[in-house]
A and B are shown apart, each in its own frame.
Chain A
Amino acid sequence: MLFNDTILDHFRNPRNAGDLSDASATVEVTNPVCGDVLRLAVRVEAGRISVARFKTQGCVAAIASSSVLTEMLAGLTPADARGITAQKISEALGGLPPATLHAAQLGADAVAAILRKLSSGG
Protein backbone atom coordinates (compact mmCIF):
# COMPACT_ATOMS: atom_id res chain seq x y z
CA MET A 1 0.00 0.00 0.00
CA LEU A 2 1.61 3.19 -1.15
CA PHE A 3 0.51 6.39 0.54
CA ASN A 4 1.46 9.83 -0.72
CA ASP A 5 3.54 12.22 1.39
CA THR A 6 0.52 14.28 2.49
CA ILE A 7 -1.19 11.20 3.92
CA LEU A 8 1.98 10.05 5.63
CA ASP A 9 2.59 13.51 7.05
CA HIS A 10 -0.90 13.66 8.58
CA PHE A 11 -0.42 10.13 9.93
CA ARG A 12 2.99 10.86 11.47
CA ASN A 13 2.21 14.41 12.62
CA PRO A 14 -1.51 14.45 13.25
CA ARG A 15 -3.04 17.94 13.52
CA ASN A 16 -5.42 18.83 16.33
CA ALA A 17 -5.21 15.44 18.03
CA GLY A 18 -6.69 15.20 21.50
CA ASP A 19 -9.76 16.12 23.48
CA LEU A 20 -11.59 19.44 23.58
CA SER A 21 -12.63 20.40 27.09
CA ASP A 22 -15.25 23.05 26.25
CA ALA A 23 -16.61 21.47 23.07
CA SER A 24 -19.94 22.60 21.65
CA ALA A 25 -20.47 19.04 20.41
CA THR A 26 -18.63 15.71 20.51
CA VAL A 27 -19.49 12.58 18.51
CA GLU A 28 -18.02 9.14 18.14
CA VAL A 29 -18.53 7.20 14.91
CA THR A 30 -17.49 3.65 14.08
CA ASN A 31 -16.96 1.65 10.94
CA PRO A 32 -18.58 -1.58 12.08
CA VAL A 33 -16.72 -3.68 9.53
CA CYS A 34 -13.11 -2.77 10.22
CA GLY A 35 -13.63 -1.40 13.71
CA ASP A 36 -12.16 2.07 13.09
CA VAL A 37 -13.43 4.62 15.62
CA LEU A 38 -13.29 8.41 15.29
CA ARG A 39 -14.19 10.84 18.05
CA LEU A 40 -14.68 14.34 16.73
CA ALA A 41 -15.22 17.44 18.88
CA VAL A 42 -15.85 21.01 17.74
CA ARG A 43 -16.26 24.34 19.44
CA VAL A 44 -18.58 26.82 17.71
CA GLU A 45 -17.99 30.52 18.38
CA ALA A 46 -19.90 33.35 16.71
CA GLY A 47 -21.56 30.93 14.31
CA ARG A 48 -18.32 29.37 13.08
CA ILE A 49 -16.31 26.28 14.03
CA SER A 50 -13.31 27.77 15.83
CA VAL A 51 -11.57 24.52 16.80
CA ALA A 52 -11.93 20.86 15.84
CA ARG A 53 -10.14 18.05 17.66
CA PHE A 54 -10.03 14.32 17.02
CA LYS A 55 -9.03 11.00 18.44
CA THR A 56 -8.95 7.99 16.13
CA GLN A 57 -8.24 4.31 16.46
CA GLY A 58 -7.78 2.97 12.98
CA CYS A 59 -5.54 2.49 10.02
CA VAL A 60 -3.17 5.02 8.47
CA ALA A 61 -5.87 6.38 6.16
CA ALA A 62 -8.32 6.79 9.05
CA ILE A 63 -5.85 8.76 11.17
CA ALA A 64 -4.79 10.93 8.21
CA SER A 65 -8.43 11.55 7.21
CA SER A 66 -9.34 12.60 10.76
CA SER A 67 -6.36 14.91 10.96
CA VAL A 68 -7.04 16.68 7.67
CA LEU A 69 -10.73 16.87 8.53
CA THR A 70 -10.00 19.00 11.61
CA GLU A 71 -8.11 21.45 9.38
CA MET A 72 -10.96 21.54 6.88
CA LEU A 73 -13.55 22.24 9.57
CA ALA A 74 -11.78 25.17 11.22
CA GLY A 75 -13.41 28.46 10.23
CA LEU A 76 -16.46 26.95 8.56
CA THR A 77 -20.06 27.64 9.53
CA PRO A 78 -22.03 24.48 10.25
CA ALA A 79 -23.90 25.07 6.99
CA ASP A 80 -20.60 25.15 5.05
CA ALA A 81 -19.41 22.01 6.83
CA ARG A 82 -22.32 20.14 5.28
CA GLY A 83 -20.35 20.19 2.03
CA ILE A 84 -17.56 17.97 3.41
CA THR A 85 -17.83 14.56 1.74
CA ALA A 86 -15.58 11.51 1.75
CA GLN A 87 -14.42 12.55 -1.71
CA LYS A 88 -13.43 16.02 -0.47
CA ILE A 89 -11.49 14.56 2.47
CA SER A 90 -9.67 12.25 0.10
CA GLU A 91 -8.89 15.15 -2.22
CA ALA A 92 -7.53 17.21 0.67
CA LEU A 93 -5.07 14.39 1.27
CA GLY A 94 -4.01 14.35 -2.37
CA GLY A 95 -6.07 11.21 -3.04
CA LEU A 96 -6.48 8.18 -0.80
CA PRO A 97 -5.82 4.77 -2.36
CA PRO A 98 -9.26 3.47 -3.46
CA ALA A 99 -9.15 0.53 -1.04
CA THR A 100 -8.92 2.96 1.88
CA LEU A 101 -11.76 5.31 0.95
CA HIS A 102 -13.80 3.84 3.81
CA ALA A 103 -11.51 5.85 6.10
CA ALA A 104 -12.61 9.15 4.53
CA GLN A 105 -16.21 7.98 4.77
CA LEU A 106 -15.73 7.66 8.53
CA GLY A 107 -14.75 11.36 8.58
CA ALA A 108 -17.77 12.36 6.51
CA ASP A 109 -20.03 10.33 8.82
CA ALA A 110 -18.57 12.16 11.81
CA VAL A 111 -19.30 15.55 10.19
CA ALA A 112 -22.91 14.53 9.51
CA ALA A 113 -23.31 13.31 13.10
CA ILE A 114 -21.81 16.42 14.66
CA LEU A 115 -23.96 18.73 12.52
CA ARG A 116 -27.05 16.83 13.67
CA LYS A 117 -25.92 17.26 17.24
CA LEU A 118 -25.24 20.98 16.81
CA SER A 119 -28.62 21.61 15.23
CA SER A 120 -30.32 19.74 18.06
CA GLY A 121 -28.64 22.09 20.51
CA GLY A 122 -25.34 20.21 21.17
Chain B
Amino acid sequence: MAVKLPIYMDNHATTRVDPRVVEAMLPYFTEKFGNAASRNHEFGWKAEEAVETARGHVARLIHASPREIVFTSGATESDNLALKGVAEAYRKRGNHIITQATEHKAVLDTLKRLEQSGCEVTCLPVSKDGLVDPDDLRRAITPRTILLSIMHANNEIGVVQPIAEIGRIAKEKDVLFHVDAAQSVGKIPVDAEKDGVDLLALSAHKLYGPKGVGALYVRRKNPRVELAAMIDGGGHERGMRSGTLNVPGIVGLGKACEICQQEMAEEGERLRALRDKLKDAILAGLDNTFINGSMTQRLPQNLNLSFAGVEGEALLMGINDVAVSSGSACTSATLEPSHVLRALGVSEDLAHSSVRFGLGRFNTAEEVEYVAARVIETVKRLRELSPLYEAAKPRPPR
Protein backbone atom coordinates (compact mmCIF):
# COMPACT_ATOMS: atom_id res chain seq x y z
CA MET B 1 0.00 0.00 0.00
CA ALA B 2 1.57 3.25 -1.12
CA VAL B 3 1.46 6.21 1.24
CA LYS B 4 1.71 9.83 0.24
CA LEU B 5 4.92 11.44 1.51
CA PRO B 6 5.80 13.37 3.55
CA ILE B 7 3.59 12.14 6.38
CA TYR B 8 2.46 14.68 8.98
CA MET B 9 2.42 13.21 12.49
CA ASP B 10 3.09 16.34 14.53
CA ASN B 11 -0.45 17.29 15.43
CA HIS B 12 0.46 18.73 18.84
CA ALA B 13 2.38 21.47 17.03
CA THR B 14 -0.51 22.33 14.79
CA THR B 15 -3.22 20.63 12.74
CA ARG B 16 -4.31 20.89 9.16
CA VAL B 17 -7.46 23.00 8.82
CA ASP B 18 -10.41 20.71 8.15
CA PRO B 19 -11.83 21.42 4.65
CA ARG B 20 -15.29 21.89 6.22
CA VAL B 21 -13.79 24.64 8.39
CA VAL B 22 -12.21 26.38 5.40
CA GLU B 23 -15.53 26.26 3.58
CA ALA B 24 -17.35 27.81 6.54
CA MET B 25 -14.77 30.61 6.80
CA LEU B 26 -14.55 31.67 3.16
CA PRO B 27 -17.69 33.84 2.89
CA TYR B 28 -16.45 35.91 5.84
CA PHE B 29 -13.50 37.15 3.80
CA THR B 30 -15.64 38.26 0.87
CA GLU B 31 -19.37 38.96 0.80
CA LYS B 32 -19.79 38.80 4.60
CA PHE B 33 -16.75 40.91 5.46
CA GLY B 34 -18.46 43.21 7.98
CA ASN B 35 -17.18 44.35 11.36
CA ALA B 36 -19.06 42.52 14.11
CA ALA B 37 -19.15 45.78 16.06
CA SER B 38 -20.97 47.69 13.31
CA ARG B 39 -24.44 47.97 14.83
CA ASN B 40 -26.11 50.02 12.15
CA HIS B 41 -26.11 47.92 8.99
CA GLU B 42 -26.57 44.45 7.66
CA PHE B 43 -22.84 43.81 7.07
CA GLY B 44 -22.21 44.22 10.77
CA TRP B 45 -25.28 42.21 11.78
CA LYS B 46 -24.26 39.24 9.66
CA ALA B 47 -20.75 39.27 11.11
CA GLU B 48 -22.10 39.57 14.63
CA GLU B 49 -24.54 36.74 14.08
CA ALA B 50 -21.74 34.49 12.81
CA VAL B 51 -19.58 35.36 15.83
CA GLU B 52 -22.42 34.55 18.23
CA THR B 53 -23.08 31.22 16.50
CA ALA B 54 -19.39 30.39 16.87
CA ARG B 55 -19.44 31.44 20.52
CA GLY B 56 -22.23 28.95 21.06
CA HIS B 57 -20.25 26.11 19.45
CA VAL B 58 -17.15 26.86 21.55
CA ALA B 59 -19.24 27.06 24.74
CA ARG B 60 -21.05 23.78 24.04
CA LEU B 61 -17.80 21.87 23.47
CA ILE B 62 -16.49 22.82 26.94
CA HIS B 63 -19.88 22.86 28.74
CA ALA B 64 -19.90 26.60 29.36
CA SER B 65 -22.35 29.39 28.64
CA PRO B 66 -21.70 31.50 25.49
CA ARG B 67 -21.37 34.63 27.61
CA GLU B 68 -18.36 33.05 29.30
CA ILE B 69 -16.33 32.86 26.06
CA VAL B 70 -13.85 35.65 25.22
CA PHE B 71 -12.24 35.43 21.79
CA THR B 72 -8.47 35.99 21.63
CA SER B 73 -5.60 35.41 19.22
CA GLY B 74 -4.86 31.96 20.62
CA ALA B 75 -4.04 29.98 23.74
CA THR B 76 -0.88 31.95 24.53
CA GLU B 77 -2.84 35.19 24.69
CA SER B 78 -5.59 33.44 26.66
CA ASP B 79 -3.05 32.18 29.22
CA ASN B 80 -1.53 35.66 29.49
CA LEU B 81 -4.94 37.25 29.96
CA ALA B 82 -6.01 34.70 32.57
CA LEU B 83 -2.83 34.87 34.66
CA LYS B 84 -2.03 38.57 34.39
CA GLY B 85 -5.69 39.53 34.48
CA VAL B 86 -6.31 37.62 37.72
CA ALA B 87 -3.02 38.76 39.31
CA GLU B 88 -4.01 42.37 38.76
CA ALA B 89 -7.70 42.11 39.63
CA TYR B 90 -7.12 40.10 42.83
CA ARG B 91 -4.02 41.91 44.03
CA LYS B 92 -5.77 43.10 47.21
CA ARG B 93 -6.66 39.53 48.11
CA GLY B 94 -3.27 37.94 47.54
CA ASN B 95 -0.31 37.45 45.26
CA HIS B 96 0.39 33.73 45.39
CA ILE B 97 -0.06 31.51 42.31
CA ILE B 98 0.51 27.74 42.14
CA THR B 99 1.45 25.85 39.01
CA GLN B 100 3.38 22.68 38.07
CA ALA B 101 6.59 21.87 36.27
CA THR B 102 5.36 20.53 32.91
CA GLU B 103 3.21 23.53 31.98
CA HIS B 104 3.58 25.10 28.56
CA LYS B 105 5.91 28.10 28.31
CA ALA B 106 2.86 30.29 27.75
CA VAL B 107 2.11 29.71 31.42
CA LEU B 108 5.65 29.36 32.84
CA ASP B 109 7.06 32.44 31.10
CA THR B 110 4.00 34.51 32.00
CA LEU B 111 4.39 33.50 35.65
CA LYS B 112 8.08 34.41 35.52
CA ARG B 113 7.04 37.87 34.39
CA LEU B 114 4.51 38.10 37.21
CA GLU B 115 7.18 37.07 39.73
CA GLN B 116 9.21 40.09 38.63
CA SER B 117 6.26 42.33 39.44
CA GLY B 118 5.74 40.97 42.93
CA CYS B 119 3.79 37.72 42.59
CA GLU B 120 4.91 34.63 44.44
CA VAL B 121 4.84 31.48 42.36
CA THR B 122 5.01 27.91 43.61
CA CYS B 123 5.90 25.38 40.90
CA LEU B 124 5.01 21.85 42.00
CA PRO B 125 6.93 18.78 40.84
CA VAL B 126 5.29 15.89 38.98
CA SER B 127 5.62 12.12 39.36
CA LYS B 128 7.65 10.06 36.91
CA ASP B 129 4.36 9.54 35.06
CA GLY B 130 4.04 13.31 34.63
CA LEU B 131 1.13 13.75 37.03
CA VAL B 132 0.80 16.43 39.68
CA ASP B 133 -0.28 15.18 43.11
CA PRO B 134 -3.51 16.93 44.21
CA ASP B 135 -2.40 16.56 47.83
CA ASP B 136 0.75 18.57 47.05
CA LEU B 137 -1.50 21.24 45.59
CA ARG B 138 -3.75 21.31 48.62
CA ARG B 139 -0.76 21.67 50.92
CA ALA B 140 0.74 24.49 48.83
CA ILE B 141 -2.35 26.70 49.17
CA THR B 142 -1.89 29.60 51.61
CA PRO B 143 -4.22 32.45 52.66
CA ARG B 144 -2.42 34.56 50.04
CA THR B 145 -3.12 32.10 47.20
CA ILE B 146 -5.37 33.52 44.49
CA LEU B 147 -4.95 31.11 41.60
CA LEU B 148 -4.03 27.56 40.58
CA SER B 149 -2.84 27.12 37.00
CA ILE B 150 -2.69 23.49 35.93
CA MET B 151 -2.81 22.34 32.33
CA HIS B 152 -5.25 19.70 31.14
CA ALA B 153 -3.21 17.68 28.58
CA ASN B 154 0.51 18.15 28.16
CA ASN B 155 1.78 19.19 24.73
CA GLU B 156 4.82 16.89 24.74
CA ILE B 157 3.73 13.73 26.51
CA GLY B 158 -0.07 14.04 26.31
CA VAL B 159 -0.43 13.31 30.03
CA VAL B 160 -3.84 14.41 31.32
CA GLN B 161 -3.88 16.05 34.75
CA PRO B 162 -6.71 15.27 37.22
CA ILE B 163 -8.46 18.60 36.72
CA ALA B 164 -11.82 17.55 38.22
CA GLU B 165 -10.10 16.72 41.51
CA ILE B 166 -8.05 19.92 41.39
CA GLY B 167 -11.22 21.89 40.63
CA ARG B 168 -12.81 20.51 43.81
CA ILE B 169 -9.79 21.57 45.85
CA ALA B 170 -9.92 25.06 44.31
CA LYS B 171 -13.60 25.41 45.24
CA GLU B 172 -13.07 24.06 48.73
CA LYS B 173 -10.16 26.47 49.34
CA ASP B 174 -11.86 29.36 47.53
CA VAL B 175 -9.08 30.00 45.02
CA LEU B 176 -9.49 30.41 41.27
CA PHE B 177 -8.51 27.63 38.86
CA HIS B 178 -7.07 28.27 35.41
CA VAL B 179 -6.59 25.43 32.92
CA ASP B 180 -4.49 25.57 29.76
CA ALA B 181 -6.55 23.18 27.66
CA ALA B 182 -4.98 23.93 24.27
CA GLN B 183 -4.15 20.26 23.69
CA SER B 184 -7.27 18.67 25.12
CA VAL B 185 -10.25 20.64 23.84
CA GLY B 186 -11.70 18.75 20.89
CA LYS B 187 -9.64 15.66 21.69
CA ILE B 188 -11.13 14.50 24.99
CA PRO B 189 -14.21 15.66 26.90
CA VAL B 190 -13.81 18.97 28.74
CA ASP B 191 -16.49 20.11 31.18
CA ALA B 192 -15.62 23.50 32.64
CA GLU B 193 -18.79 23.67 34.69
CA LYS B 194 -18.66 20.24 36.29
CA ASP B 195 -14.88 20.24 36.78
CA GLY B 196 -14.92 23.52 38.69
CA VAL B 197 -12.73 25.33 36.18
CA ASP B 198 -12.82 29.14 36.40
CA LEU B 199 -10.64 30.05 33.42
CA LEU B 200 -9.71 27.89 30.44
CA ALA B 201 -7.50 28.62 27.45
CA LEU B 202 -8.01 27.02 24.04
CA SER B 203 -6.73 27.47 20.53
CA ALA B 204 -8.31 26.87 17.10
CA HIS B 205 -5.27 25.55 15.27
CA LYS B 206 -4.87 22.60 17.61
CA LEU B 207 -8.33 21.32 16.71
CA TYR B 208 -8.33 21.56 12.90
CA GLY B 209 -9.15 25.27 12.83
CA PRO B 210 -7.11 28.26 11.66
CA LYS B 211 -4.06 29.79 13.36
CA GLY B 212 -4.32 33.15 15.12
CA VAL B 213 -7.59 32.61 16.95
CA GLY B 214 -8.51 31.09 20.28
CA ALA B 215 -10.61 31.74 23.33
CA LEU B 216 -10.57 32.16 27.07
CA TYR B 217 -13.44 30.79 29.10
CA VAL B 218 -14.14 33.11 32.06
CA ARG B 219 -16.61 31.81 34.63
CA ARG B 220 -19.52 34.20 35.30
CA LYS B 221 -21.11 32.65 38.38
CA ASN B 222 -20.01 30.62 41.43
CA PRO B 223 -17.78 32.60 41.43
CA ARG B 224 -17.92 35.45 38.94
CA VAL B 225 -14.28 35.84 37.86
CA GLU B 226 -12.91 39.38 37.71
CA LEU B 227 -10.29 40.00 35.07
CA ALA B 228 -8.18 43.07 34.32
CA ALA B 229 -7.93 43.54 30.56
CA MET B 230 -4.53 43.38 28.89
CA ILE B 231 -5.62 45.08 25.67
CA ASP B 232 -7.67 48.28 25.93
CA GLY B 233 -9.47 50.14 23.17
CA GLY B 234 -13.15 49.93 22.37
CA GLY B 235 -14.40 47.53 24.99
CA HIS B 236 -14.95 44.51 22.76
CA GLU B 237 -15.62 41.14 24.38
CA ARG B 238 -17.30 42.77 27.39
CA GLY B 239 -14.22 44.87 27.98
CA MET B 240 -11.93 41.92 28.52
CA ARG B 241 -10.29 41.96 25.10
CA SER B 242 -10.59 45.00 22.88
CA GLY B 243 -9.88 44.95 19.17
CA THR B 244 -11.97 44.27 16.09
CA LEU B 245 -12.99 40.63 16.10
CA ASN B 246 -11.27 38.23 13.70
CA VAL B 247 -14.60 37.17 12.20
CA PRO B 248 -13.38 34.56 9.67
CA GLY B 249 -11.07 33.06 12.29
CA ILE B 250 -13.80 32.97 14.91
CA VAL B 251 -16.18 31.33 12.42
CA GLY B 252 -13.46 28.75 11.76
CA LEU B 253 -12.95 28.12 15.47
CA GLY B 254 -16.70 27.67 15.91
CA LYS B 255 -17.01 25.25 13.01
CA ALA B 256 -13.95 23.31 14.23
CA CYS B 257 -15.55 23.00 17.69
CA GLU B 258 -18.86 21.90 16.17
CA ILE B 259 -17.12 19.13 14.21
CA CYS B 260 -15.14 18.01 17.27
CA GLN B 261 -18.32 17.91 19.34
CA GLN B 262 -19.89 15.53 16.81
CA GLU B 263 -16.86 13.39 15.97
CA MET B 264 -14.58 13.49 19.01
CA ALA B 265 -15.64 10.21 20.61
CA GLU B 266 -15.31 8.13 17.46
CA GLU B 267 -12.16 9.90 16.30
CA GLY B 268 -10.54 9.45 19.70
CA GLU B 269 -11.11 5.70 19.60
CA ARG B 270 -9.77 5.42 16.06
CA LEU B 271 -6.64 7.40 16.91
CA ARG B 272 -6.13 5.49 20.15
CA ALA B 273 -6.07 2.25 18.15
CA LEU B 274 -3.62 3.73 15.64
CA ARG B 275 -1.43 5.15 18.39
CA ASP B 276 -1.33 1.78 20.16
CA LYS B 277 -0.50 0.08 16.87
CA LEU B 278 2.39 2.49 16.36
CA LYS B 279 3.63 1.94 19.90
CA ASP B 280 3.36 -1.86 19.71
CA ALA B 281 5.09 -2.03 16.33
CA ILE B 282 8.01 0.15 17.43
CA LEU B 283 8.44 -1.61 20.78
CA ALA B 284 8.33 -5.00 19.04
CA GLY B 285 11.03 -3.91 16.59
CA LEU B 286 13.43 -2.17 18.99
CA ASP B 287 14.81 -2.81 22.45
CA ASN B 288 15.92 -0.09 24.87
CA THR B 289 13.00 2.09 23.91
CA PHE B 290 11.09 3.84 26.67
CA ILE B 291 7.65 5.43 26.93
CA ASN B 292 7.66 8.90 28.49
CA GLY B 293 4.66 9.67 30.70
CA SER B 294 1.63 7.76 31.90
CA MET B 295 0.05 5.47 29.32
CA THR B 296 -3.31 5.48 31.12
CA GLN B 297 -3.79 9.19 31.90
CA ARG B 298 -2.97 10.28 28.37
CA LEU B 299 -4.41 11.77 25.19
CA PRO B 300 -5.28 9.02 22.72
CA GLN B 301 -3.39 10.91 19.99
CA ASN B 302 -0.01 11.08 21.76
CA LEU B 303 3.03 8.86 21.89
CA ASN B 304 6.40 10.02 23.26
CA LEU B 305 9.32 7.61 23.14
CA SER B 306 13.02 7.76 24.03
CA PHE B 307 15.43 5.62 22.03
CA ALA B 308 18.63 4.89 23.95
CA GLY B 309 21.75 5.42 21.87
CA VAL B 310 20.18 7.84 19.42
CA GLU B 311 20.01 11.63 19.40
CA GLY B 312 16.49 12.88 18.67
CA GLU B 313 17.35 15.46 16.02
CA ALA B 314 19.43 12.91 14.09
CA LEU B 315 16.51 10.49 14.20
CA LEU B 316 14.15 13.19 12.93
CA MET B 317 16.48 14.01 10.06
CA GLY B 318 16.94 10.31 9.36
CA ILE B 319 13.19 9.87 8.91
CA ASN B 320 12.84 13.13 7.05
CA ASP B 321 9.76 12.05 5.09
CA VAL B 322 7.89 11.83 8.40
CA ALA B 323 7.14 15.02 10.34
CA VAL B 324 7.41 14.42 14.10
CA SER B 325 9.24 16.39 16.77
CA SER B 326 11.90 15.85 19.40
CA GLY B 327 12.67 16.92 22.96
CA SER B 328 16.29 17.24 21.93
CA ALA B 329 17.67 20.74 21.75
CA CYS B 330 20.90 20.21 19.86
CA THR B 331 20.27 23.30 17.78
CA SER B 332 18.80 25.57 20.43
CA ALA B 333 20.91 28.21 22.12
CA THR B 334 21.00 26.47 25.50
CA LEU B 335 21.30 22.84 24.34
CA GLU B 336 19.01 22.04 27.26
CA PRO B 337 16.58 19.22 26.56
CA SER B 338 12.84 19.34 27.18
CA HIS B 339 11.86 20.80 30.57
CA VAL B 340 8.89 18.45 30.56
CA LEU B 341 10.94 15.25 30.33
CA ARG B 342 13.44 16.58 32.86
CA ALA B 343 10.54 17.22 35.26
CA LEU B 344 9.59 13.53 34.93
CA GLY B 345 13.11 12.62 35.99
CA VAL B 346 14.07 11.35 32.53
CA SER B 347 17.89 11.43 32.23
CA GLU B 348 19.44 14.05 29.97
CA ASP B 349 20.60 11.35 27.56
CA LEU B 350 17.13 9.91 27.18
CA ALA B 351 15.53 13.36 27.02
CA HIS B 352 17.82 14.16 24.08
CA SER B 353 16.72 10.92 22.45
CA SER B 354 12.98 11.56 22.70
CA VAL B 355 10.52 11.76 19.85
CA ARG B 356 6.94 12.97 20.02
CA PHE B 357 4.36 11.42 17.70
CA GLY B 358 1.11 13.39 17.44
CA LEU B 359 -1.59 11.54 15.55
CA GLY B 360 -4.46 13.43 14.04
CA ARG B 361 -7.69 13.35 12.09
CA PHE B 362 -5.99 12.83 8.74
CA ASN B 363 -3.60 9.99 9.66
CA THR B 364 -4.25 6.49 8.32
CA ALA B 365 -3.31 2.96 9.35
CA GLU B 366 -0.98 2.71 6.33
CA GLU B 367 0.86 5.82 7.49
CA VAL B 368 1.30 4.34 10.95
CA GLU B 369 2.82 1.18 9.46
CA TYR B 370 5.19 3.23 7.33
CA VAL B 371 6.25 5.44 10.24
CA ALA B 372 6.90 2.45 12.51
CA ALA B 373 9.07 0.79 9.86
CA ARG B 374 11.04 3.98 9.17
CA VAL B 375 11.65 4.62 12.85
CA ILE B 376 12.86 1.07 13.47
CA GLU B 377 15.18 1.12 10.47
CA THR B 378 16.63 4.56 11.29
CA VAL B 379 17.14 3.87 15.00
CA LYS B 380 19.00 0.67 14.12
CA ARG B 381 21.22 2.53 11.66
CA LEU B 382 22.03 5.31 14.13
CA ARG B 383 22.71 2.83 16.91
CA GLU B 384 25.26 1.14 14.64
CA LEU B 385 27.02 4.51 14.53
CA SER B 386 26.93 5.06 18.28
CA PRO B 387 30.03 4.40 20.39
CA LEU B 388 27.82 4.04 23.46
CA TYR B 389 25.42 1.51 22.03
CA GLU B 390 27.42 -1.66 21.61
CA ALA B 391 26.03 -3.94 24.26
CA ALA B 392 28.06 -6.98 23.24
CA LYS B 393 31.36 -5.35 22.38
CA PRO B 394 34.15 -4.55 24.83
CA ARG B 395 34.99 -0.90 25.44
CA PRO B 396 38.24 0.27 23.86
CA PRO B 397 41.12 1.35 26.12
CA ARG B 398 40.96 5.01 27.08
Contacts and interface: CB of A to CB of B under 8 A. Distances in A.
A27 to B, nearest CB: 8
Interface stretch (B9-17, B103-111, B306-314, B366-374): B306-314
B233 interface: no
Interface residues of B, number: 28
B391 interface: no
A100 interface: yes
A28 B395 CA distance: 11
Contact of B331 (A11, A33, A36, A99): A99
B311 A41 contact: no
Contact of B332 (A12, A17, A99): A99
Interface residues of A, number: 35
Contact of B397 (A12, A26, A102, A103): A26
A26 B397 CA distance: 7
Interface stretch (B150-158, B175-183, B244-252, B380-388): B380-388
Contact of B330 (A23, A28, A38, A58): A58
Interface in A61-110: 61-63, 97, 99-100, 102-103
Given A33-B335, A34-B329, A57 B396 contact: no
A11 B317 contact: yes
Given A35-B349, A57-B311, A14 B396 contact: no
B145 to A, nearest CB: 37
A97 B331 contact: yes
Contact of B348 (A14, A28, A35, A39): A35
Given A19-B396, A35-B349, A59 B331 contact: yes
Contacts of B311: 35-36, 57-59, 62
A1 B331 contact: yes
Interface string B93-110: 000000000000000000
Main secondary structure, interface of B, reads loop
B307 to A, nearest CB: 11
Contacts of A19: 393, 396
B386 A60 contact: no
A60 B313 contact: yes
A57 B335 contact: no
A58 to B, nearest CB: 5
Contacts of A63: 314, 385
A46 B67 CA distance: 84
A111 B314 CA distance: 23
A59 B313 contact: yes
B317 A57 contact: no
B309 A39 contact: no
Given A12-B318, A59-B313, 6 more contacts: A26-B396, A36-B330, A57-B310, A57-B382, A59-B311, A61-B330
Interface of B: 309-311, 313-314, 317-318, 328-333, 335, 348-349, 352, 382, 384-389, 393, 396-398
12 contacts: A11-B318, A34-B330, A35-B352, A37-B386, A37-B387, A37-B388, A58-B314, A59-B330, A60-B314, A62-B314, A63-B314, A102-B335
- 5 nearest A-B pairs in the assembled complex, by CB-CB distance: A59-B330, A39-B387, A57-B386, A55-B387, A34-B335
